[in-house]
């Protein structure tokens, strides 16, 4: 019993540290991109690959590493991922050109895929179902604390020292977390030991998802994005046909066909991110371009969403342990819809307090959605599929984020193309309203999706069965 408690505490600390560092790094990089561009004399399009390359690599490699961890061990893949994340974070800090930095960021994204595909699987392997939700809630909370501190702390470090120091500090913190995991995390967890790894299917999947996500998110920006999207979709169809004929596939198609709870929970995750991910982007534009707030004031207002999410995420996990997660996630999705609808009333003279309040409502909705939905996803599969399930959940998140930004860029291309400077702000507000209405409708559809699938046992029911 004492060994189990020690294992639980160590795993929780290590996973929470990883879940803090990766989003912190992501949000900090978004802030320091102008400083990087100034030092390397780089154009905006090239600089965007510091973000795009990282996110595409993470999304594309999640499933292959999830399956690999089920075969060779989740702890092993997690520790290797932490080591590589540390290495390429430090290398990004000493990058001598923009091209090398983009390469290091892509490698950093691959390492993040190793972390995200195994972190939730390790927690699920250690904690029993009736305690899992609260721990996943804590992991969600620290992720949003990292997301919140990235712009503020990163901006402070960059202002007084250098943008490179952010990479040094994050890299050294990652090294310490890696050493802690290697030293204190005992045992190993596998679910498909002895299976062969589907290398051909993995290559096909990585290419298909990377091309599809890049093509879809760039439809309004480049003419050849449509060709990338079409090639990616063709490869994805081939991937599913190929996988259905393999004895040891990368992805068992039956995990969706015969498991409605798993399918609907992942669909709900994709819908939620599709509806909510672009909020920060839209609000940032609204505050700085339309309402003429400086970046400092805009940052203070925008921190309300991740801060509320970080504070309430443990509550969402606690509720998931004591009530049916489907009910908790549906309330969270509904609350997000309320926040999105309040943004659809946006005007150029909208109160800053109203904006902060709407962000807080959306943040509370996500807090009630994220941990319960992750708990339901992991509780819907057998132990043999924990790595794959964790990876699919992460992939749904990335696909949802890409869809959210693609909707924004498409709406902007419709409303803002050819608009003169006099009408620009007015049409920008109209563009915001349209995007928020679309996102509200998507979120409402997600409420009904949350209610589908099987009912999950609560903590009280588990205790009663044991007694």
Distance (Å) of CA 114 to CA 26, 51, 68, 98, 107: 16, 18, 10, 25, 11
pLDDT at residue number 149: 75
Topology annotation, domain 1-191: Growth Hormone; Chain: A; (1.20.1250)
Both structure tokens of 192 = 């498909």
Instruction: Give yes or no on whether 1-191 and 259-457 have one common fold.
Output: yes
pLDDT digits 0-9 by tens, 247-269: 777 777 776 776 777 888 888 88
Sign of the Cα torsion 240, 242, 244, 247 reads negative
Residue ranges, the chain, pLDDT below 50: 1-3, 5, 455-467
What burial class does residue 153 get, using C-beta atoms within 10 Å of its C-beta: 0-12 exposed, 13-18 middle, 19+ buried?
middle
pLDDT at residue number 126: 76
Write down the domain spans for the chain.
Answer: 1-191, 198-249, 259-457
Domain 259-457 has CATH 1.20.1250.20: yes
Query: Alpha-carbon distance 341 to 121, whole Å?
Result: 35
Alpha helices in 344-466 (DSSP H): 352-379, 386-416, 421-450, 459-466
Q: What is the 3-state secondary structure (H, E, C) of 260-271?
A: HHHHHHHHHHHH
The distance of Cα 34 from the centroid of its chain, to the nearest Å, equals 24
**Helices 2-40 and 98-126: crossing angle, nearest 10°?**
160
Q: Residue 406 in contact with residue 435, Cβ under 8 Å?
A: no
Query: Alpha-carbon distance 157 to 457, whole Å?
Result: 47
pLDDT at residue number 264: 83
pLDDT at residue number 14: 81
Both structure tokens of 173 = 């913190």
pLDDT digits 0-9 by tens, 28-79: 776 677 777 778 877 655 776 777 788 788 888 888 888 888 888 888 888 8
pLDDT at residue number 460: 41
HSE at residue 80, side-chain half, CA atoms within 13 A, is 15
pLDDT at residue number 68: 84
């Amino acid at each position: 019993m004492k060994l189990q408690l020690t294992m639980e505490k160590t795993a929780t600390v290590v996973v929470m540290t990883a879940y803090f560092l990766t989003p912190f790094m992501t949000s900090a990089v978004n802030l320091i991109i102008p400083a990087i561009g100034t030092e390397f004399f780089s154009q905006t399009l090239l600089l965007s690959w510091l973000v795009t390359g990282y996110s595409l690599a993470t999304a594309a490699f999640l499933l292959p590493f999830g399956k690999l961890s089920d075969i060779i061990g989740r702890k092993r893949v997690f520790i290797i991922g932490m080591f590589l994340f540390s290495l390429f974070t430090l290398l990004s800090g000493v990058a001598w050109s923009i091209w090398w930095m983009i390469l290091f960021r892509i490698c950093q994204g691959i390492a993040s895929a190793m972390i995200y595909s195994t972190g939730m699987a390790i927690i699920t392997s250690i904690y029993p179902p009736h305690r899992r939700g609260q721990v996943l809630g804590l992991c969600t909370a620290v992720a949003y604390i990292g997301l919140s501190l990235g712009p503020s702390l990163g901006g402070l470090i960059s202002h007084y020292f250098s943008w490179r120091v952010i990479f040094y500090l994050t890299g050294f913190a990652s090294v310490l977390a890696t050493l802690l995991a290697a030293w204190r995390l005992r045992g190993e967890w596998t679910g498909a030991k002895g299976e062969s790894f589907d290398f051909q299917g993995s290559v096909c999947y990585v290419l298909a998802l990377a091309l599809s996500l890049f093509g879809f998110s760039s439809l309004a920006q480049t003419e050849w994005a449509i060709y990338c999207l079409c090639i990616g979709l063709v490869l994805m169809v081939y991937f599913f046909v190929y996988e259905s004929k393999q004895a040891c596939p990368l992805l068992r198609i039956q995990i969706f066909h015969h498991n409605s709870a798993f399918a609907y929970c992942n669909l709900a995750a994709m819908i939620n991110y599709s509806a909510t991910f672009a909020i920060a982007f839209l609000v940032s534009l609204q505050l700085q371009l339309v309402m003429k707030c400086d970046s400092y004031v805009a940052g203070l207002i925008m921190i309300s969403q991740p801060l509320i999410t970080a504070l309430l995420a443990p509550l969402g996990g606690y509720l998931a342990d004591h009530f049916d997660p489907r009910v908790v996630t549906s309330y969270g999705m509904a609350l997000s819809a309320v926040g999105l609808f309040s943004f659809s009333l946006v005007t150029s003279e909208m109160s800053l307090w109203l904006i902060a309040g709407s962000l807080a409502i959306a943040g509370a909705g996500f807090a009630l959605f994220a941990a319960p939905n992750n708990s339901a996803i992991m509780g819907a599969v057998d132990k043999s599929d924990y790595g794959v399930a964790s990876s699919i959940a992460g992939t749904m998140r990335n696909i949802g984020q890409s869809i959210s930004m693609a909707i924004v860029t498409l709406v902007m291309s419709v409303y803002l193309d050819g608009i003169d400077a006099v009408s620009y702000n007015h049409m920008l507000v109209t563009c915001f309203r349209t995007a928020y209405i679309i996102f509200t409708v998507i979120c409402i559809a997600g409420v009904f999706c949350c209610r589908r699938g099987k009912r999950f046992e609560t903590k009280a029911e588990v205790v009663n069965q044991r007694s």
